[in-house]
Amino acid sequence: MREARPLLATSAQVRHVISLELSLSIRSLVSWVLPVGALLAMTLGLQKSMSQAGSAFELKIRMMPRPMLAAFGMEHINLRDPVGYLATNWSTITLITALFASLLGATLASRESASQLSETLYTQPIERHTVLVGKALAGVLVLLAFNVTLSLVGWVTYAFAGVAISRPGAFVSVFAGTFLVHTTVFALSILAAVSAQHARSASSRALGITFGLYGLGMVARITERADKLKYLSPFSYADASDIAQTGGLQARVAVLAVATVALLIAAIVRLNRNDMGV
Amino acid sequence: MSTKAIAFESLSKVYPGGCGVHELTLHVEPGEVFGFIGPNGAGKSTAIRALLGLSRPTGGAASVHGIDLAKDRDRKREALAHVGYVPSEPGVYPGKTVAETLAYLGGFHAADTRALRAKLCERIDLDVTRRADELSLGNKKKLAIVAAMHHAPSVLVLDEPSSGLDPLVKHELFALLAEVAREGAAVFFSSHVISEVESVCDRFALLKEGRLAQLVRTQDLLREQPLRVRATFADPTDSVLLSLTDARPNAAGELEWISRVELPALLQALAQDTLAKRITKVVLEHPSLEELVLRQYAKERAQ
């Protein structure tokens, strides 16, 4: 006969997982923040000169075909407004940063299977869903740090360039919206990773899905007939050019939060059904 | 909790190709070192994964201290708090040291694992300051062994634990297994190396093509076997000797045969004048477990 042993509280186990995942993700975060931050700083640093070139430059851009302007969110371009200028350039940066979110999700979810640690981890007195919740929270914290850092880079760059942000709420909303897009892409990548039969295919699968969703958003903007596709792309729910125009996040961003939670629940269900180490 | 530390009850785990484990039934008691042997692909690891709740059985059940880890989700953690597991292919977290890896794994237990961990690392000579992803296979195995034992489990499951270990560490590991078994833990030891099972296990099960082929007490099985006689004769071509037994010369130039009589009768026969004068050296021994298993494989293959 064996006596029951005391068990560690689930919340303590979640904190334990978060702390490991944060320590393992920090290098990846830094290696993405540095180039993306530099790209953002370089881009925003040019706002003043672009703004001075003013209407002539804007006119040139407006002469581009409408689908192209629509595809890159430049239909309502206003280079003199710092937030408008940020939004004009944000479309490409959103895709790049979403790739980070996607890789982060796939890496976190497949870390143990890629390192032959699944059997070791899941024979500890911890539920599979506790592990996944810990990983998801760690990922959300990393993405939050990523977006906060980028927004600070943008803020400081404008301040350094002597550009006054007349609509700080809209400026912050661009990054907040992107953060929500990131969390959705991240959750989707977790689901893709736990559904992948081989850990090594998790990242490529997640990246493929992210590109695909971005492409859907673009197609929806280019062709009116495919307009409904925008509902399938998380990028459409927090579009920077829309935020620049309206001055803040629309209520529809709630869809991203709901989708993130639903995707994580689906990932937990899938993980609980998986056979490990086979 | 059940008195049986480990129980397989008609456990089946069948994969689409048909391989896996079929109708496996066996029990392991607390304080017992149990061997689980079989050729590659016999289903040993499949059975272990089903036992530990890593995969779902397609039939039957497996339990630890009476808790079915695949079905009794509410009590799974309770059972796993008692379990230590050494997988056949241990992994590590890239970029983490041995100490950090062990602290992370130990952190899932409510009990403080540090003191026992330090003692185990010292006994099996594991350098905790090294980066875990730079370790050799043997050192990764040592890490897995410490991780499986630092919370003093009452059920210790080891899947091929000795591969990659040097003889000294292997010896220390077997001593550790014997100690934890003496303290009341059940040790479930899966191995290809039958001599290891013979030296450490009280009982063993032989698995073949996913089915239980043999389940016996190791010493009983060995004792039941006829003695093997290896004798050196002054003149190995002596026709009397050759006609006396079904002996055949072995690689060492000795004559070797399996005795068909009990030990007293055999000794009496060897002491007879006709034989005693001709023998310069004689060795009587039971065949090893490895020989018996190999003999059984050969017999089945011939059928």
β-pair partners for B26: B8
How far A98 CA sits from the closest chain B CA (Å)? 24
Q: How far is CA B128 from CA A128, B97, B173, in A?
A: 28, 7, 18
Residues of B in contact with A5 (CB under 8 A): 78, 81-82, 109-111
A8, A116, A120 ranked by CB distance to B105: nearest:
A120
Residue A4 has pLDDT above 60, yes or no: yes
The per-residue pLDDT for range B125-138, each reduced to its tens digit, is 999 999 999 999 99
Give the lowest-confidence range in A132-141, B92-101, B198-207: B198-207
Predicted confidence band at A125 (pLDDT cuts at 50, 70, 90)?
very high
Q: Do A6 and B111 touch (CB under 8 A)?
A: yes
Q: How many CB atoms lie within 10 A of CB B235?
A: 9
Residues B275-299 have a mean pLDDT of: 78
Residues A227-254 have a mean pLDDT of: 90
C-alpha A68/C-alpha B7 separation (Å) is 67
Query: What tokens appear for B223 in the block?
Result: 């004792």
Q: How many CB atoms lie within 10 A of CB B238?
A: 15
C-alpha A44/C-alpha A42 separation (Å) is 6
Pairing of strands B248-249, B279-285: unpaired
Q: How many CB atoms lie within 10 A of CB B41?
A: 12
Query: What tokens appear for A20 in the block?
Result: 């490991």
Residue B251 has pLDDT above 90, yes or no: no
Query: What tokens appear for A44 in the block?
Result: 């925003």
C-alpha A128/C-alpha B300 separation (Å) is 43
Predicted confidence band at B169 (pLDDT cuts at 50, 70, 90)?
very high
Q: Indicate whether A233 belongs to any domain.
A: yes
Q: Do B78 and A118 touch (CB under 8 A)?
A: no
Q: Do A7 and B78 touch (CB under 8 A)?
A: yes
Q: Do B1 and A115 touch (CB under 8 A)?
A: no
Residue type, B293: V
Residue A168 has pLDDT above 50, yes or no: yes
Domain hosting residue A240, numbered range? 11-273
Query: Among A41-50, B25-34, B65-74, B209-218, which range has the highest average pLDDT?
Result: B25-34
Residues of A in contact with B109 (CB under 8 A): 5, 8, 124-125
Predicted confidence band at A1 (pLDDT cuts at 50, 70, 90)?
very low
Residue A156 has pLDDT above 50, yes or no: yes
Q: How many CB atoms lie within 10 A of CB B271?
A: 10
A13, A116, A276 ranked by CB distance to B90: nearest:
A116
**B129: nearest Cα among B101, B91, B164, B148:** B101
B109 three-state secondary structure? coil
Interface contact B25, partner A, CB < 8 A: no
Q: How many domains, chain A?
A: 1
Q: Do A117 and B104 touch (CB under 8 A)?
A: no
**A44 in Cβ contact with A86 (< 8 Å):** yes
Predicted confidence band at B221 (pLDDT cuts at 50, 70, 90)?
confident
B54, B93, B107 ranked by CB distance to A122: nearest:
B54
The pLDDT value recorded for residue B129 is 96
Residue with tokens 């709901």: A258
How far A231 CA sits from the closest chain B CA (Å)? 37
Q: Indicate whether A278 belongs to any domain.
A: no
CATH of domain B226-285: 3.30.70
C-alpha B7/C-alpha B65 separation (Å) is 8
C-alpha A152/C-alpha A149 separation (Å) is 5
The torsion angle over the Cα atoms of residues B68, B151, B170 and B26, rounded to 10 degrees, is -20
Residues of A in contact with B154 (CB under 8 A): 2
Q: Indicate whether A138 belongs to any domain.
A: yes
The per-residue pLDDT for range A172-199, each reduced to its tens digit, is 999 999 999 999 999 999 999 999 878 7
C-alpha A138/C-alpha A132 separation (Å) is 10
C-alpha A238/C-alpha A230 separation (Å) is 11
Name residues 6-65 of chain A within 8 A of B (Cβ): 6-8, 13, 16, 20, 24, 27
Chain A residue with Cα closest to B158:
A120
What average pLDDT does chain B have?
A: 87
C-alpha A29/C-alpha B42 separation (Å) is 45
C-alpha A114/C-alpha A105 separation (Å) is 14
How far B25 CA sits from the closest chain A CA (Å)? 21
Predicted confidence band at B81 (pLDDT cuts at 50, 70, 90)?
very high
A7, A116, A123 ranked by CB distance to B91: nearest:
A116
C-alpha A102/C-alpha A196 separation (Å) is 14
Query: Among A83-97, A151-165, A230-244, which range has the highest average pLDDT?
Result: A151-165
Domain ranges of chain B: 6-217, 226-285
The pLDDT value recorded for residue A212 is 95
DSSP letter at B131 equals: B
Residues of B in contact with A124 (CB under 8 A): 80, 105, 108-109
What average pLDDT does chain A have?
A: 90
CB under 8 Å to A119, separation ≥6 — which residues? A276, A277, B49, B52, B54, B85, B87
The per-residue pLDDT for range A26-55, each reduced to its tens digit, is 999 999 999 999 999 999 998 888 777 666
Residues of B in contact with A126 (CB under 8 A): 77, 80, 108
Interface contact B52, partner A, CB < 8 A: yes
Residues of B in contact with A16 (CB under 8 A): 104, 107-108
The pLDDT value recorded for residue B241 is 60
B81, B94, B154 ranked by CB distance to A7: nearest:
B81
Could you tell me which residue, B261 or A240, shows the higher pLDDT? A240
Residues A16-29 have a mean pLDDT of: 96
Chain B residue with Cα closest to A110:
B93
Could you give the percent of chain A with pLDDT greater than 70?
94
Residue A88 has pLDDT above 90, yes or no: no
User: Phi, psi at residue B177, to the nearest 5°?
Assistant: -60, -40
Q: How far is CA B259 from CA B31, B183, B218, B254, B255, in A?
A: 35, 40, 21, 15, 12
Can you say whether residue B124 is alpha, beta or left, with left for phi > 0 and alpha for psi between -120 and 50 degrees?
alpha
Residues B20-25 have a mean pLDDT of: 94
Residue with tokens 């060492």: B252
**B43 in Cβ contact with B207 (< 8 Å):** yes
Q: Do B109 and A122 touch (CB under 8 A)?
A: no
Q: Do A24 and B56 touch (CB under 8 A)?
A: no
Q: Do B110 and A120 touch (CB under 8 A)?
A: no
Q: Indicate whether A69 belongs to any domain.
A: yes
Q: Do B85 and A123 touch (CB under 8 A)?
A: yes
Between chain A and chain B, how many beta carbons pairs sit less than 8 Å apart? Answer: 104
Residue A20 has pLDDT above 80, yes or no: yes
C-alpha B33/C-alpha B191 separation (Å) is 13
Query: What tokens appear for A202 in the block?
Result: 């998790």
B30, B90, B110 ranked by CB distance to A7: nearest:
B110
Could you give the percent of chain B with pLDDT greater than 70?
93
Dihedral (CA of A90, A92, A96, A99) sign: positive
**Helical residues (DSSP H) of chain B, grouped into ranges:** 44-51, 76-80, 98-106, 114-123, 137-149, 167-182, 194-200, 218-224, 239-244, 263-271, 273-276, 289-302
Q: How far is CA A155 from CA A44, A78, A175, A183, B176, in A?
A: 9, 18, 11, 22, 61
B207 three-state secondary structure? strand
Dihedral (CA of B198, B202, B207, B210) sign: negative
Q: Indicate whether A6 belongs to any domain.
A: no
Whether the model clears a pTM of 0.80, i.e. scores above it, the answer is yes
Considering the four listed CATH numbers 3.40.50.300, 3.40.640.10, 3.40.50.2000, 3.60.40.10, the one that applies to the domain covering B6-217 is 3.40.50.300
